[in-house]
Chain A
Amino acid sequence: MKRALITLCAVAAVASLQSCKMKTADSVVSGDAASRVYVAPGKYDEFYNFVSGGFSGNVTVYGLPSGRLIKTIPVFSVFPENGYGYSEETKAMLNTTNGKVDWDDQHHLELSQTNGKQDGRWLFANANNTPRVARIDLTNFRTQEILQIPNSAGNHSSPFTTENTEYVVAGTRFSVPLGDADVPISSFKKNFKSTASFISVDKNSGHMKIAFQIVLPGMNLDLSHAGKGPSHDWFFFSCYNTEQAYTMLEVNASQKDKDFIVAVNWKKAEEYAKSGKGHIVPASYAHNTFDENTQKASTVMEKDVLTLDPKDCPDMIYMIPCPKSPHGADVDPTGEYIVGSGKLAALIPVFSFDKIQTAIKNKSFEGDFYGIPVIKYEAALHGEVKKPGLGPLHTEFDGKGNAYTSMFLSSEVVKWRLSDLQVLDRAPTYYSVGHIMIPGGDTREPSGKYLVAYDKITKDRYLPTGPELCQSAQLYDITGDKMQLLLDFPTTGEPHYGQGLPASMIKDKQVKYFDINKNHNEFVSMGEKKTKVVRTGNRVDVYMTAIRSHLTPDNIEGVFVGDEVYFHVTNLEQDWDIPHGFAIKNSPSVDLLIMPGETQSIKFSPVKQGIYPFYCTDFCSALHQEMSGYLRVSPKGANVPLKFGSGVIAPETAAK
């Protein structure tokens, strides 16, 4: 009996120890989460989720709610998988004033809007490192245009759009001197500037152009969002380092209690730009566009940019104090509330657009910052969300009067009400959440169904893979009072920010193949009979076709070491999902992936004699393995005539 009692006590002790153990992430998913994210074979996801690739330089596309990766869109980095940045057609997309830049750091995305709602036409993407803004066409999921931003460094506050995509903005994170001035770093206050570029977007073609650039005092612009409805004419940028530190920013840029939200009346700025208040200053930057007709990217080097100095443009800009090193600047669907998130602050300030307007009218200013009026904090404030969590970063909205803010330090998403600023719910994330996204959550019409958290750290979420782990995104159901974690899925690169839209909006607009009759690539072969090999000096142009399951020509001779051989491969197929690849042995670059009806070219300079097999790299058909050919490379000066063909076997030539 005594023994049994001791055993029982021991069991009880162990049990109580177990219950004392700190909470882990094991048991957070409850109920039928699996069935709510399960998209049965043959069924489609409900949303497209476009996710920033961070340091991968590309954009990835996931289906929601399944979290399945369905596409990688190369934007700012070369992409061996499909030859982006390697093919003669796409190389120019990566041109900059510093030559071809093959990598970047892709942080934010924004879908084009009409009347403050998503219109499913384009996706804009920023590049931080070599400041650029790209436009991706949502009918073919391809990068169509890349515009470099001059007078900028760390293009972080970008690319956010106005309600009718009148403008996409590009704001500087690192202040730099204008132009390429060589100045001491210690002359920061005098020489360093931050700029907010307003890129106009052509309504029909989507073509981008820097309409004007507002030159601001040296500081770090962080994020931005356009106004909506009543605040339509305005753009709000958060900024930090108004201390203007240029070394040890960790400490030196965190001294002030409040930095600012920069409120820009872009309508006024537009008027000033049109009425000649600006200065056209020299600036060189690359503008790359992909021409659908010729199927080729080309670069125009721009020569100047129109700058606006706030001194010359009264009523264009106001500063709103915002505690403390604000990160996000998010505008709610009604356009009335502007949420600033001080990443070092213990509260979330919410500003009222109405109050800002009244404050401007009554000149309720507490001073100025380099001549720009600073509105009194209380005069602009709707209220503060008290004790929301630690490290508020970004806020999105559900369209039902609620806001959701990501908390980087406390790794959670906090739901609160815009009207009375009460915290309603909080849900943990795993771990260190950055941006969050609700499809349409930054527009006038959020879908309010799912929220995705993009996390920086994933230790313990997936099978360990050595020291390098993937990042992750987490999906929450936000239809009820309480947020419910449904799924986490790994992502490529850093999933910095995302955009989501209902699949129905673009799924039926997808291009299935390119009409070969509209192929105006200068090296197209319209049919196998038009294939040829042309030598011009030491340049050899191979006009080749690909169709299931052969390449024409598939035997080429009379090419010499040191020649520059260009393979121009036209995919003759006119059917959905039948790309052909092209690769040649020892090619120092990569392969091509040619869509039906398309022509792509790749350069190959053989450095050694020999026989070089080439082949289709995309498993296209039952006879894919047979889809190959040979290039004979002879020593320089050899007496081998140029010969090519398919199906005609050349008589065997005796070895010399």
Chain B
Amino acid sequence: MKKLTKSGKISIIAVIVLLVSLWLFPMWQIDLRAPQYPGGLSMKIWINDVKGDVDIINGLNHYIGMSTIHKRDFPEFVFLPTTLLIFMMLGMVVLFLNKKVGYYLWAGAFTFIAIFSFYDFYKWEYNYGHNLDPAAPIKVPGMSYQPPLFGYKKLLNFEVLSQPDIAGWCYICAGVILVAATIYEWKKSVTP
């Protein structure tokens, strides 16, 4: 079995270091702005928590019958950190075994986790924006309040901007490194 290149090994360390940022910084931020909130409202999603002006947003959302956001309602806040910790430990194993195959599998696992977590995030946003209390005081026909997965959207009087935060960008970087390193390792193995 082929051994990893030096760059491949460094990339493992780099990916792990980048992922550590998930415990230090928020992953995602959703900013809201409306005329009566000139300073804006901001919700920060961490790997294991949701912070920022959540209480204020919850208070506002009851008009349109959206459910309130509470940390305890997210099993993701337990299994996402666990999964990523395992993934980081597997990285150490790949580094120790020093096999290209290990690296490919590891990168594959990352892709799976990334796609799955994005899908999960989308699904949560969909439910959050669509499952409205039928008794809500304000009903706008045909309106749903699903926040954008990525980017800008206007929801009634609110402008909403959804984008990665520091740890989110680190996570994306980790993904880019993994993909690039995989391609590099592959090329090195076919063209000796």
User: Which chain B residue shows the least CB distance to A576?
Assistant: B39
Q: Considering the chains assembled together, what is the distance between the CA atoms of A626 and B63 in angstroms?
A: 12
B109 within 8 A of A: no
CB-defined contacts of A547 to chain B, threshold 8 Å: 59
CB-defined contacts of B138 to chain A, threshold 8 Å: 622
B56 within 8 A of A: yes
How many A-B contacts if CB must be within 8 Å?
A: 17
Interface size for chain B: under 10, 10 to 19, 20 to 34, or 35 or more residues? Answer: under 10
CB-defined contacts of A621 to chain B, threshold 8 Å: 63
Q: 8 Å CB contacts to A: which residues of B54-81?
A: 55-56, 59, 62-63
Contact present for A575 and B56 (CB under 8 Å): yes
Nearest chain B CB to A531 CB, angstrom units: 18
Q: Is the interface of A mostly helix, strand, loop or mixed?
A: loop
Listed residue (B59, B62, B63, B137) with the most chain A CB atoms within 10 angstroms of its CB: B59
Q: Considering the chains assembled together, what is the distance between the CA atoms of A432 and B138 in angstroms?
A: 57
CB-defined contacts of A573 to chain B, threshold 8 Å: 59
Contact present for A574 and B137 (CB under 8 Å): no
Which of B55, B59, B63 lies in contact with A622, CB distance below 8 A? B63
Which of A575, A623, A626 lies in contact with B59, CB distance below 8 A? A575
Contact present for A574 and B56 (CB under 8 Å): yes
Q: Considering the chains assembled together, what is the distance between the CA atoms of A455 and B67 in angstroms?
A: 57
Contact present for A548 and B137 (CB under 8 Å): no
Nearest chain B CB to A42 CB, angstrom units: 9
Q: Considering the chains assembled together, what is the distance between the CA atoms of A574 and B55 in angstroms?
A: 8
Nearest chain A CB to B106 CB, angstrom units: 45
Q: Considering the chains assembled together, what is the distance between the CA atoms of A574 and B59 in angstroms?
A: 10
Nearest chain B CB to A550 CB, angstrom units: 10
Listed residue (A573, A574, A575, A622) with the most chain B CB atoms within 10 angstroms of its CB: A575
CB-defined contacts of B56 to chain A, threshold 8 Å: 574-575
Contact present for B55 and A623 (CB under 8 Å): no
Nearest chain A CB to B177 CB, angstrom units: 42
Q: 8 Å CB contacts to B: which residues of A539-576?
A: 547-549, 573-575
Q: Is the interface of B mostly helix, strand, loop or mixed?
A: helix
Nearest chain B CB to A413 CB, angstrom units: 39
CB-defined contacts of A575 to chain B, threshold 8 Å: 55-56, 59
Q: Considering the chains assembled together, what is the distance between the CA atoms of A365 and B26 in angstroms?
A: 77
User: Which chain A residue shows the least CB distance to B36?
Assistant: A577
CB-defined contacts of A574 to chain B, threshold 8 Å: 55-56
CB-defined contacts of B63 to chain A, threshold 8 Å: 621-623
User: Which chain B residue shows the least CB distance to A574?
Assistant: B55
Q: Considering the chains assembled together, what is the distance between the CA atoms of A548 and B36 in angstroms?
A: 15
Q: Considering the chains assembled together, what is the distance between the CA atoms of A626 and B138 in angstroms?
A: 13
User: Which chain A residue shows the least CB distance to B137?
Assistant: A623
User: Which chain A residue shows the least CB distance to B53?
Assistant: A575
User: Which chain B residue shows the least CB distance to A575?
Assistant: B56
CB-defined contacts of A626 to chain B, threshold 8 Å: 137
Q: Considering the chains assembled together, what is the distance between the CA atoms of A623 and B55 in angstroms?
A: 19
Nearest chain B CB to A508 CB, angstrom units: 13
Nearest chain A CB to B56 CB, angstrom units: 5
CB-defined contacts of A623 to chain B, threshold 8 Å: 63, 137
Nearest chain A CB to B70 CB, angstrom units: 14
Q: Considering the chains assembled together, what is the distance between the CA atoms of A171 and B34 in angstroms?
A: 52
Nearest chain B CB to A481 CB, angstrom units: 41
- Write the A601-639 contact mask toward B (1 if CB under 8 angstroms, else 0): 000000000000000000001110010000000000000
User: Which chain A residue shows the least CB distance to B41?
Assistant: A575
Q: Considering the chains assembled together, what is the distance between the CA atoms of A573 and B62 in angstroms?
A: 14
Q: Considering the chains assembled together, what is the distance between the CA atoms of A549 and B138 in angstroms?
A: 12
- Write the B132-166 contact mask toward A (1 if CB under 8 angstroms, else 0): 00000110000000000000000000000000000
CB-defined contacts of B137 to chain A, threshold 8 Å: 549, 622-623, 626
User: Which chain B residue shows the least CB distance to A623?
Assistant: B137
User: Which chain A residue shows the least CB distance to B62?
Assistant: A548
User: Which chain A residue shows the least CB distance to B55?
Assistant: A574
Q: Considering the chains assembled together, what is the distance between the CA atoms of A623 and B60 in angstroms?
A: 12
Q: Considering the chains assembled together, what is the distance between the CA atoms of A164 and B162 in angstroms?
A: 51
Q: Considering the chains assembled together, what is the distance between the CA atoms of A626 and B56 in angstroms?
A: 20
Nearest chain A CB to B78 CB, angstrom units: 27
Nearest chain A CB to B136 CB, angstrom units: 11
CB-defined contacts of B59 to chain A, threshold 8 Å: 547-548, 573, 575
Nearest chain B CB to A529 CB, angstrom units: 15
Nearest chain A CB to B38 CB, angstrom units: 9
CB-defined contacts of B55 to chain A, threshold 8 Å: 574-575
Q: Considering the chains assembled together, what is the distance between the CA atoms of A260 and B138 in angstroms?
A: 72
Nearest chain A CB to B159 CB, angstrom units: 18
Q: Considering the chains assembled together, what is the distance between the CA atoms of A549 and B62 in angstroms?
A: 10
Nearest chain A CB to B151 CB, angstrom units: 27
User: Which chain A residue shows the least CB distance to B60?
Assistant: A548
Q: Considering the chains assembled together, what is the distance between the CA atoms of A459 and B89 in angstroms?
A: 84
CB-defined contacts of A548 to chain B, threshold 8 Å: 59, 62
Nearest chain B CB to A648 CB, angstrom units: 15
Q: Considering the chains assembled together, what is the distance between the CA atoms of A575 and B53 in angstroms?
A: 9
Nearest chain B CB to A495 CB, angstrom units: 31
User: Which chain A residue shows the least CB distance to B63?
Assistant: A622
Nearest chain B CB to A151 CB, angstrom units: 51
Q: Considering the chains assembled together, what is the distance between the CA atoms of A622 and B60 in angstroms?
A: 11
Nearest chain B CB to A111 CB, angstrom units: 28
- Complex A-B: 17 CB contacts under 8 Å: A547-B59, A548-B59, A548-B62, A549-B137, A573-B59, A574-B55, A574-B56, A575-B55, A575-B56, A575-B59, A621-B63, A622-B63, A622-B137, A622-B138, A623-B63, A623-B137, A626-B137
Residues of A within 8 A of B (CB): 547-549, 573-575, 621-623, 626
Residues of B within 8 A of A (CB): 55-56, 59, 62-63, 137-138
The 3 A-B pairs at the shortest CB distance, nearest first, are namely A575-B56, A623-B137, A574-B55
9 additional A-B pairs beyond A547-B59, A548-B59, A575-B59, beta carbons within 8 Å, are A548-B62, A549-B137, A573-B59, A575-B55, A621-B63, A622-B138, A623-B63, A623-B137, A626-B137
